[in-house]
Structure 1
Amino acid sequence: MRIDRYLSIPIRPRRATDKIIECVGRWPVLLRSYVLVRYGWSTPYSLVQSSALDCRNPPELVEKSWKPLTSPSDTRAVVSTLYSDSFAVGVAVMGHSVREANVSARLILPYLENRVSAQAICIARAVGWEPMPVPFIPPPHNGKGIHRRFYDQYTKLNIWALDKKGIERAVYLDADTLVRRNFDELFDSPFNFAAVPDAYIDSRGFPINFNAGVLAFRPSSAVLDVMKEKIATADFPLKQAEQSFLNLFFATNVVRLPYAYNANLSIKKRSPAMWEGLKDEMRIVHYTMTKPFLDNSPGLPKILTEKMQRKAIERSAAMHDREYAEEVGWWARAFDRMMQEKRVEMQACYRSS
């Protein structure tokens, strides 16, 4: 449904149900949709300007009395991927933030041996990642129609083979995420697959399809085998690579998680009020709009030195008229804490290159 269909609707007096709709707008997608349809409140969600103050005391995202199950932490994993040296510092800061949040799980990092340097692996190990070489999974149709920066992303599907490493439950995080609060509750989910709905700054707004930057899943080599079998012939939009494929593959068999588990920076652009409402419960922030750690300027080494990294942070904060300066500041402070604790190990990685 296109938002521009509603731009000419005249302003009407505020109804008592409007406040309820605004509060409902902050609920998980499926529950929100049910309530709006069930009671006939059809205001387009893209037009709702919700505010944390409009829902005075929303319930806690996770019940305070909740306690994690007793399954051993070595059967749980936070997993990311590394396909180039450019993301090594990002994955290190993210991994360190996982440890700071006391997430009870191993850190497992699948990577491509022929594309990632020993220096990058050294940086990842310094914060606790367990590097795991994996085979390259090529994109279907020889990469035709796929954005070049997504060419390696089908290799992410290897994470479903973690059951061979004794992992029973896993949470996947993109290297451009940062953990702000513990999310152990995701490991206790009874569902095989869960993800967070995507968010866009254009007319798509807040669609039902999910973003593949944060995934809670049950590893299964059998599922991976089916994926590999179907990927070449599956009919899905190729531009967004493995994310489009996963949306097709899991279809309706996916639980939509709250935005607090994948606080995509595009949400702030789309709805600043909604972003403010997320902050208190935000578990994971996703740096989709600006990358504090990434700098592909000509002539720079593959791995940024600490001085270069600080310049990259400054440039990232200055982008988009400093709209994301606060969030870049979160990442910068996480980087500082990592370096304060791991500087000796990090510097040893640079010297060994």
Structure 2
Amino acid sequence: MADQAFVTLATNDSYARGAMVLGKSLRNHNTSRKLVALIGPQVSEPCQSVLKRIYDEVRMVDVLDSGDTAHLAMMKRPDLGVTFTKLHCWTLTHYSKCVFMDADTLVLSNIDELFDREELSAAPDPGWPDCFNSGVFVFCPSMETYGKLLQYCTEHGSFDGGDQGVLNGFFSNWATADISKHLPFIYNLSSIAIYTYLPAFKQYGGNAKVVHFLGKTKPWSYTFDPKAKRITGSTHEATAHPTFLLDWWSLFSSAVVPMLQEQYGDQPFHSGCVEGESFPSHAQALQPQLSSEERKEKWEQGQADYMGMDSFDNIKRKLDTFLK
């Protein structure tokens, strides 16, 4: 299957770390497809070197300097800079079909069956299920589609300011035209959604194939103690289920950090792995107590205290009390 590929995008070193873990997770689950990483010019040399060891193809994309049609479109819509970069995936015409995956996704089992799907196949967004989430989607590279997408960007912009708004506007009949293009949610399980429908997560979560760390706080924003297998960080903004976060960090610390250390050599770099750090037993006790109104606001912004007050166990306890 040399003409099919998984594609991701990393615009800086933080997202490059995410891409490294994603690539490793695809390799660990024995994908037979090629792996492609699109990167921005801000990605450092050491990170580029590690990506080249994991991915079959690492391609630099920078729409601002490209001088192509994207550059012309950019003149009219500078607000959509990163979006234009993501749309570059349609220019990979040496592949017949690809699956795009955001760098903040993690593969939990082999997902090569996604290549049986047609363009544009994607899973519903948990916030508005008549829109698809653009973190995982099946597409067919084509310069014609690329041109039309850029034209759409210039004329209509994006209703959410990013690529998801553009793609949903362009592939506007996704919700109603063909149910076979609706990927099951297990291919793009948003970590935020786990908490909005706990019984369903209990029922189906074990079948998850791809977890997507949506929200402001990404896995690489935390600190990890590999010996104690403990994660700490901005707990009041954590938006990920601790089990999946642990999966991400275990893979990053065991498979990616050694490669980064090799590339950085004597240069200092912060891996996020800190052994023997003294962890408070109740991280949430360090956080200022929120009023119920502030807490509600945090929930609505997708920033609940998932590793503290709003943890899976605490919510389950509350649900059990109501259901008794």
TM-score, normalising length: structure 1: 0.64
Q: Encode CA deviations 1:276-332: one digit per residue, 9 max, x unaligned.
A: 23323211000014411137xxxxxxxx9x989x9994216x445797222211212
In structure 2, the partner of 1:231 is 153
Q: Structure 1 pair 261/197, CA: closer, same or farther in 2 (3 Å)?
A: same
In structure 1, the partner of 2:170 is 249
Distance 1:197 1:323 in 2: 18
1:325 matched to 2:242? The reply is yes
Distance 1:322 1:135 in 2: 30
Q: Structure 1 pair 350/208, CA: closer, same or farther in 2 (3 Å)?
A: same
Structure 2: state its 5+ residue gaps.
Answer: 64-69, 268-324
Identity over aligned pairs, percent: 27
Listed as ranges, the matches of 1:45-64 within 5 Å are none
TM-score, normalising length: structure 2: 0.70
Counterpart AA for 1:199:
P
Counterpart AA for 2:242:
A
Q: Structure 1 pair 96/80, CA: closer, same or farther in 2 (3 Å)?
A: same
In structure 2, the partner of 1:263 is 189
In structure 2, the partner of 1:314 is 232
8 Å contact 2:225–2:231 — kept in the other structure? no
Distance 2:9 2:239 in 1: 29
1:116 matched to 2:43? The reply is yes
8 Å contact 2:191–2:240 — kept in the other structure? no
Match of 2:209 among 268, 283, 296: 283
Distance 2:57 2:158 in 1: 33
Q: Encode CA deviations 1:195-243: one digit per residue, 9 max, x unaligned.
A: 110013xxxxx52101111111111121001111221112641x34111
8 Å contact 2:84–2:150 — kept in the other structure? no
8 Å contact 2:221–2:233 — kept in the other structure? no
Q: Structure 1 pair 311/207, CA: closer, same or farther in 2 (3 Å)?
A: same
Q: Structure 1 pair 352/210, CA: closer, same or farther in 2 (3 Å)?
A: farther
Q: Encode CA deviations 1:239-274: one digit per residue, 9 max, x unaligned.
A: 341110100101114721110000001211211122
Q: Structure 1 pair 321/80, CA: closer, same or farther in 2 (3 Å)?
A: closer
In structure 2, the partner of 1:91 is 19
- Between the two structures, name the one with larger relative contact order (CA 8 Å, sep ≥ 6): 1
Structure 1: state its 5+ residue gaps.
Answer: 1-71, 201-205, 296-303
Q: Encode CA deviations 1:134-172: one digit per residue, 9 max, x unaligned.
A: 23257575445x7xxxx4132100101111xx2111111
Q: Encode CA deviations 1:166-206: one digit per residue, 9 max, x unaligned.
A: 211111111100000111111122x2210110013xxxxx5
Counterpart AA for 1:349:
Q
8 Å contact 1:174–1:214 — kept in the other structure? yes
8 Å contact 1:109–1:130 — kept in the other structure? yes
1:221 matched to 2:143? The reply is yes
In structure 2, the partner of 1:160 is 90
RMSD, aligned α-carbons: 2.9
Q: Structure 1 pair 321/104, CA: closer, same or farther in 2 (3 Å)?
A: closer
Counterpart AA for 1:269:
Y
